[in-house]
Structure 1
């Protein structure tokens, strides 16, 4: 058992890096004994380095013995006192031993911690007949007139601390059988097994995308170094970290939704304590973006520029952001460092619901804008090629008109017109919307069309119209 405790102490030192103090234990585990009884005191300490340790025993401030154990084979009242031990440079807390010469003592463990299953024993000297034991707590009877000498208090907490007393009737060796009542009392101090935990957050403050770590900090009683603790974490009263041996809880990439009131809980099989809540607010790395039309197109051919507007937190001023743009949910510009998207000459098909995203370069934080509807209207209608008749006699004048209607939004726009026959240009772009042949010939027959443009980027074509030039002879039409 001693080897196991030493191993536990070594393990805890290696895990925590905290220097551990030696602990005095009694065998048997009672802090009060009769004169003539024996007791062994042990100095338990986890050695973290090879080699033997030197143990020194101190009684009432004076060195009295060396060695890991200190046995008193037949105690006398002079052995009463405050005992501690030193291993290397570390000194244990004081353990009180009382050696008494009465007839009854109330046996209680050397150390009592919350969560212990506590049993007290009203012990009398061997060789005597005893009966009827009564137990008291703070002068109130809690177990009366029993044949048993034990009081099972059960799993204790701080309210079980107090002054306990027992009385017992003992038969003294006289001519007549005579029972005399003897008593003893002891003060039970219930010690904290561990302190109420405190929840600690790092870093401070926390910004979206940060790795947030919560630590459930407590300190275990140095007299119970081998106690296994488990830890759980809560946000707004709901469990976010199940009970485990780790006192840490981490959020890899904190988001605003991770804000809330956090607490933690520490438990053993019999003791459970929860920390106070701390309010944690995850700061925005950047605000939700807004998509804005800087150069807003009204009609086709206009230049369109959209900006994905956001503001970066002053807590992380150097963060690199990336921006994509979407039309009707489909990507029109991939993620890059520019927060603008432009179309040099907007077309009707560029109409739609536009949105943008903003994200960090590592993708840990990403936010989307609302939709911005953009409707691009026609600058001019698709042209229609008009001719007075599609059947023209040779020698007649043929006039073609390229008709279109200009948007009232831009009434002063200058349009240019070009004409084609069988796909070949017969009149270059110019301001005239007419094309004429003064004296048509048979070879002027063909498929005619026209184009209208406002710029090199905005050109619209008419449908083709077939024109037949008929032969005319001696004033009679050629059938």
Structure 2
């Protein structure tokens, strides 16, 4: 027993019914033991520990002494122990709690729950003979034991925290929303709990490079490195409630990319323009805007005053110079490496205009005949490279003469040519007038 409990010892004489008995007691710490059959100790103490015996007398009859009843009184009040088979209730499930008082018996149990550390404990179930219950709510739980009449209570057990898994599942988002980013970029990983607005959530993260994971719903990665690559997931905690873990979103961090510049022509034709195209690989990366520069030392990006801007990543220019580009995205803007420079020259048209002649000068010939198509540029002693344009099925070579040894209908078509100075590839003639060649398949 424990200090403060009440106990009644009763002396029973078998077969002595109908007689009037007087009772004698031997007991520790008792100067005047009772003469009745009951020996009641209202609040036991350690000094009441020991052996208790009794005997009865009636007229000239005397019983023998009873066997000893040994009573042990502990000075310390017992404390109940509460254990949970799991500290987390699965969504829609329950967990089992067990209450016990070590080294003694006869207890019934009271169960208490609190919504928060500061709230008052509420009695859930009282005077339960079963020491095991199931609970499906999160909270702080404790128990105590009680026995006897009047009831003697143990000390309350220590609190056990039970958390409840909520069915809501958070979502991990990226801001900006690119899963492919590059060394030095800044990105924010955010945990969003649908329907949890207004609640005070604490957040847990599972992430690639979070030695000390944040407890807020945002994790800002400033100047990302390759070690930030990996999967990110989160869950929310509020009082004694957990959300499920979110799905994993994977972030990939690569080396800083280099823009690529491509020109459809390296010379601006007279009165025309050249189209430049800028791109960033891999194509899976997105969100880029493109910035254009002319001349190596210039750090001022081109504007609509000196270029025509088409779709994002493509412009037309009509000025000669050394062009380069780079991509940029995000806030603050993250820039790629500059592309390689491309030099754009200006095409100058020579005053000489070629003439296409046929030798012999018959425009209609017959299958099997031989004919020469010649590009002639008159005036000066300039050396030329030649360019032909024809809709015949057989293309002319880039020479001033095209000799057809055995003509066929596939040689029929319009022929025109122009010359490009060998000494200055940006200087060309205009196109000649077209000459039509007709080859008849009949002899």
State the TM-score, normalized to the length of structure 2. 0.38
Whichever structure has more strand as a proportion of its residues is 1
Q: Select the structure that is richer in helix.
A: 1
